[in-house]
A and B are shown apart, each in its own frame.
Chain A
Amino acid sequence: MSVKLTVNGLEYPLNTEKTLLENLEAQAIKMEFHCRTGHCGACRCQLISGQVNYRVSPLAYCRQNEVLTCCSISKKDIHITI
């Protein structure tokens, strides 16, 4: 069963081994990033539905409906807006 990443309403296949940012880059979706290690917060985006696991615990401030794409992975379908 393939897992989906929905970005701004458009569906893309999701590689569950890679971070959300790497997934976005693989689909040539422009996404801001700086540090890529979860401390600067530049890659913050809105989480509409789904869940993420962090590879490293993020230092940047994250509200409940926000995720840092550079250091998070998702195992299931996920919907974000950027």
Chain B
Amino acid sequence: MAYTTFSLIANDAMKEPMFFGNPVNVARYDQQRFEVFEKLIEKQLSFFWRPEEIDVSRDRIDFMNLPDHEQHIFISNLKYQTLLDSIQGRSPNIALLPIVSLPELETWIETWSFSETIHSRSYTHILRNLFTDPDEIFADIVTNEEIQKRASDIAGYYDALIHATQFFQLHGLSQTKVDYINLHGDKEALSLRTLKKKLYLCLCSINALEAIRFYVSFACSFAFAERDLLEGNAKIIKLIARDEGLHLTSTQQILNLWADGKDDPEMAEIAIECFGEGREIFLQAAEQEKEWAKYLFKDGSMIGLNEQILCQYVEYITNQRMQAIGYEAPFAVKNNPIPWINHWLVSDNVQVAPQEAEISSYLVGQINSKVDSDDLSTFEL
């Protein structure tokens, strides 16, 4: 079935599944099959920010004074974050928009991915300030073996879905004239169900990225700021983390709506069928993050964070995220080994002492619409 930018089928979007139904036609938001995506759009728009609003000029001095092994931790972490957002700034659009069937979900995917491009722009903002020529840092993201290892794993599920969807939209599903050759060069029988399976696994992989991988990198960024170092960077990461809270919720919503049978009944079956494979994706992500922790701290630890603590956090956050989508907690760790991180993740934490750091708490394009009925008590008609 070919993709069309405006389907002329007069369908009822309230009866469509999230994905693989009729293509979206009228972008209307007066009715929503799943209201939560409309609310997520509103929330994400109210969070709008630009990296240039945050002054990172003091970070350069802090960075220059860091010992070599801490510079390695900081820069490697930033490179990894750059990789994650490079993927997220484009992939949800390319992978999910051609198959989405609900207007509110389509717009959410666009809004979500757009906010990831802001994150990417902010890494350039940070690096430009730290280095006269950040070219070497960016160039290393593609060649660094440690980063490459996780890049191919994250991109793999997206690429498999994109590749199969493109074949399906070009040739249909019958495969009588053209065989489907998958990304590994093997002939594969493609059906709507196998496509949906690829979508399910891709969503698991996206959720692992948004809900686990990002948070491990946040821990490193905030560990510096806990020592009053590189605070401009932490301000930016705090804004990024606030956005990521929404992104992880949206992927949890999609996975849970499928699993609970509230969307496409076939996706509910697939959720059970691919339960084990989904679990593997999360465990694999946790394992990779632990390897990454080893690489980060290869030349030494920093105050407040070392390989062991970061690995415990990987296990802790993996437990939390897997439980949120119906899995058992796979690791024994019960308590958060770095409870201080949560105070950096509060979404409306107001900065009260502007002299201590650059403020980022002022409202941009927002209004406070809370009106207490007592406020109107002196009014008379």
Chain A residues near B (Cβ < 8 Å): 30, 32-37, 39-42, 44, 57, 59-61, 63
Contact = CB atoms under 8 A, between A and B. Distances in A.
21 contacts: A30-B335, A32-B342, A34-B245, A35-B242, A35-B245, A35-B345, A35-B346, A39-B43, A39-B347, A40-B245, A40-B249, A40-B345, A41-B248, A41-B249, A41-B252, A42-B342, A60-B249, A61-B253, A61-B256, A61-B324, A63-B256
Contacts of B306: none
Closest 6 interchain pairs by CB?
Answer: A40-B245, A34-B345, A35-B347, A61-B256, A35-B245, A61-B253
B320 A39 contact: no
A61 B348 contact: no
Interface in B241-275: 241-242, 245-246, 248-249, 252-253, 256-257, 260
A57 B260 contact: no
A37 B248 CA distance: 14
B44 to A, nearest CB: 10
A40 B339 CA distance: 17
Contacts of A30: 335-336, 339
B248 A40 contact: yes
Nearest to B215: A34
A6 B135 CA distance: 57
B50 interface: no
B40 interface: yes
A61 to B, nearest CB: 4
A61 B346 contact: no
A41 B257 CA distance: 15
B15 interface: no
Contacts of A57: 39
Given A41-B249, A42-B320, A59-B36, A36 B43 contact: no
A49 B336 CA distance: 27
Contacts of A61: 36, 249, 252-253, 256-257, 324
Nearest to A43: B342
A39 B249 contact: yes
A40 B249 CA distance: 6
A37 B249 CA distance: 12
B206 to A, nearest CB: 15
B75 to A, nearest CB: 26
A70 B257 CA distance: 22
A24 to B, nearest CB: 13
B368 to A, nearest CB: 13
A39 B44 CA distance: 11
Nearest to B346: A36
B252 A59 contact: no
Q: Which of A39, A57, A63 has the most CB of B within 10 A?
A: A39
Contacts of B342: 32-34, 42
B222 to A, nearest CB: 12
Contacts of A32: 320, 336, 342
A6 to B, nearest CB: 20
Contacts of A34: 241, 245, 342, 345-347
Q: Which of B253, B260, B347 has the most CB of A within 10 A?
A: B347
Contacts of A35: 242, 245, 345-347
A44 B347 CA distance: 16
Interface in B157-211: none
Contact of B348 (A36, A41, A63): A36
Given A39-B246, A60-B253, 9 more contacts: A32-B342, A35-B345, A36-B347, A37-B348, A57-B39, A61-B36, A61-B256, A61-B257, A61-B324
B242 A41 contact: no
Nearest to A62: B256
Contacts of B345: 33-35, 40, 42
A30 B339 CA distance: 9
Contacts of B348: 36-37
Contacts of B335: 30
B141 to A, nearest CB: 27
A37 B347 contact: yes
B327 to A, nearest CB: 14
Contacts of A44: 324
Given A33-B342, A34-B342, A35-B347, A60 B260 contact: no
